[in-house]
Structure 1
């Protein structure tokens, strides 16, 4: 009996010893692998990577993170596939959306897959977490969705757009909050090295997201017309009249596409406020009251909506929405400036003011020069939007306004010095510099 006990004890100790030795070997190999990776010796890192994936597959997720970069740098498609599959198998709950996204990027970059195969991989990433997808892949996935479903299932296109835009919006808000303090500090030239690097990163990423937002809008505008939206939302209303998310998206889309004149908009807005008595829903009802001539009730409702909201960024959005629904240009500008008090980095408020100026060009001057100076005022606001909010999509506004500012010939014929101050007339009443 004692001999059996000794035998089991010996086997147990041997097993522990083997396991300990195995763990030690894994650690040694991992450190060698990491050293080659860190020093960018990617080819030298491959043998240890192969050994780690075979013998220590669950040691660290970094095996696969580093392995993906090694495969990319060495353009090794076979390794990339093995790393991708290994990560999903051994770390199925950690950063999976990004793993799908990165693998799709590798395939695209090296022309290794069909559009359908790439779309399927991106769809996996999208279903898990759109926020973890790269900017280009978000755009690529949406384009793929539009091409596949715009005629057979437009609602899927709308839902995908909303999901993606909400994700993009969250990212933009996050960058906006981070950029605010850095931009304020940058104006005093007191940023340290790390802050300068972060300012550049946040600005670049925010600008890229803003371009995606504009690109998605451009694609959707072709199919999301009032003529198309109204029949779809009329058909689906009964099935979704208690669905807060569906109601919010339907109301918002009809508002953004200028479909407020249809009775369905009022029906949706009222129902949205009943299902979700939120500041957002409340503001749509205020707009309906205004449209129906109930000015005093609309003002009271707007105050109620605004007081309900506690988030400064959302308060700014409510003010901007009110500005967008106001017929008086001077009043609309005042409301946009009120929005900026709650979010000084709200580029869209500056772009809205710029658009008001541009629309007034023909009525704010007595000659070509004076009318074109209105575009200078608009350009200044658009450039301000780009400075404080790189993700606002200001670039296309800037490009458009620059085409319409006074030429050297216009300035010469007016007999005014380049670089001098000029006061734009009518309701704008703003002094700007004559272009050089």
Structure 2
């Protein structure tokens, strides 16, 4: 019994001694290894990395941090890039295993998948599953723009091959998810802006081949009844259909109407106004236009919309209505010279409609000239055109001789019994 106890103690001492020696050796090797990598003595560092990975795998995550630097250098100079890339992939996997808290999957699984793509390692499915695991388990750390694009590209390839039965619907859902992430990353980093623009453009090219109004709308119509109270879902679908130029489809109109019921915005009001305007639903169109003006906070946008509404009214011969829109537009942006020019043309177009004789019919040109003069004085961008119109209207209006012959001295008011419903003041001689 004493002999057995003595043997056990001796064995423990030997093992403990070996453990201490190994630990000391590991620490010393790690110290030398890190210093060699820092000073770019890579040839000396290579056998040290092999020793550390074999004997001290869980010693310190610095083994893997410095190991990554070393192996990335080796890939750049080696003719056997695939073999080095495979070793780097294994290094990443070991780091995930031994130091999971310092190795977020959202960052390192995409690194592995990208290496596999670059060096033709594994199958499309295997590469995709790594990206997919990263997104599913650690989305917050999946921030690499190139990796996000590669993920979608692989998904598209698998959809095309039918290998994983990836539907158009799933492809579109991933497209929107990845697109949103890329846009967020683009806002945060000017450095990657150009690259992200390229990725977004390439994604659009891929999705253009499979996603059309015809294929997408039936997919979303099936879900609509169960999701119609989920405004975020509706917005997402509406955005997808808008990107695909499906805004003329009845289902898109249905989506925007639902959004307008749940969370109305200036954009929903504007869209609904335009649709009803095109359908000649005047009462509904006017209702949505008024609501748009109330909700819109950008006066320049309000002016643009009301100016356009005025132009449409002119085209329909609704001159009084057109003037009302122009005046509302000017209330929003008093220095909008283009609107004053439209108002000037509107007055000038009525020379033969308003007035009882040749003199009073031409008198409305004074009103047109007044609007053209305002445009010229307040908006440099339209000054040339405003000056041209001012000269034209001034020449078309009654001359000083005409005023004298009519018996006017200036300052008299000429009223009009037409759509204009106002008056002009005779210029003083």
Residue equivalent to 2:105: 96
Which of 124, 129, 132 is 1:115 aligned to?
A: 124
- Residue 172 of structure 1, CA deviation: 1.0
Matches within 5 A, 1:162-173: 162-173=176-187
The 3 A distance-change label for structure 1 pair 213 and 283 is farther
Aligned Cα RMSD in Å? 4.2
- Residue 30 of structure 1, CA deviation: 1.8
- The answer to whether residue 158 in structure 2 is matched with residue 148 in structure 1 is yes
Residue by residue over 1:346-379, the C-alpha shift from the partner in whole angstroms, topping out at 9 and shown as x without a partner, is xxxxxxxxxxxxxxxxxxxxxxxxxxxxxxxxxx
Which of 270, 287, 298 is 2:270 aligned to?
A: 287
Indicate the SS of the match to 1:143: helix
- Residue 90 of structure 1, CA deviation: 1.4
- Residue 36 of structure 1, CA deviation: 1.6
Matches within 5 A, 1:361-400: none
Structure 2 residue runs without a partner (length 5+): 1-8, 75-80, 277-284, 311-380, 386-429
- The answer to whether residue 290 in structure 2 is matched with residue 296 in structure 1 is yes
Residue by residue over 1:397-423, the C-alpha shift from the partner in whole angstroms, topping out at 9 and shown as x without a partner, is xxxxxxxxxxxxxxxxxxxxxxxxxx9
Q: Size of the alignment, in residue pairs?
A: 288
Matches within 5 A, 1:35-434: 35-74=35-74, 75=81, 76-93=84-101, 94-127=103-136, 128-129=138-139, 132=142, 134-149=144-159, 153-175=167-189, 202-203=190-191, 205-272=192-259, 277=263, 282-291=265-274, 292=276, 293=285, 294-303=288-297
Indicate the SS of the match to 1:259: coil
- Answer yes or no: is the 8 Å Cα contact 1:289–1:297 preserved in 2: no
- Residue 238 of structure 1, CA deviation: 2.3
**TM-score for both structures, normalised by structure 1:** 0.55
* Structure ID, larger Rg: 2
- Residue 241 of structure 1, CA deviation: 2.8
- Answer yes or no: is the 8 Å Cα contact 1:131–1:171 preserved in 2: no
Residue by residue over 1:123-174, the C-alpha shift from the partner in whole angstroms, topping out at 9 and shown as x without a partner, is 2233333863543332222122123236851111111111111111111111
The 3 A distance-change label for structure 1 pair 22 and 274 is farther
Matches within 5 A, 1:3-22: none
User: Equivalents in 1 of 2:258, 2:140: separation in Å?
Assistant: 29
- Answer yes or no: is the 8 Å Cα contact 2:124–2:158 preserved in 1: no
- Answer yes or no: is the 8 Å Cα contact 1:98–1:132 preserved in 2: yes
- Answer yes or no: is the 8 Å Cα contact 2:96–2:105 preserved in 1: yes
Indicate the SS of the match to 2:58: coil
User: Equivalents in 2 of 1:131, 1:210: separation in Å?
Assistant: 21
Residue by residue over 1:245-281, the C-alpha shift from the partner in whole angstroms, topping out at 9 and shown as x without a partner, is 4222101112233323333223323444666x4xxx6
The 3 A distance-change label for structure 1 pair 330 and 140 is farther
**TM-score for both structures, normalised by structure 2:** 0.55
- Residue 19 of structure 1, CA deviation: 7.2
User: Equivalents in 2 of 1:10, 1:153: separation in Å?
Assistant: 66
Residue by residue over 1:217-237, the C-alpha shift from the partner in whole angstroms, topping out at 9 and shown as x without a partner, is 222223332222221111121
The 3 A distance-change label for structure 1 pair 89 and 326 is farther
Residue by residue over 1:369-399, the C-alpha shift from the partner in whole angstroms, topping out at 9 and shown as x without a partner, is xxxxxxxxxxxxxxxxxxxxxxxxxxxxxxx
- Answer yes or no: is the 8 Å Cα contact 1:42–1:70 preserved in 2: yes
Structure 1 residue runs without a partner (length 5+): 1-8, 176-201, 307-318, 332-422, 428-436
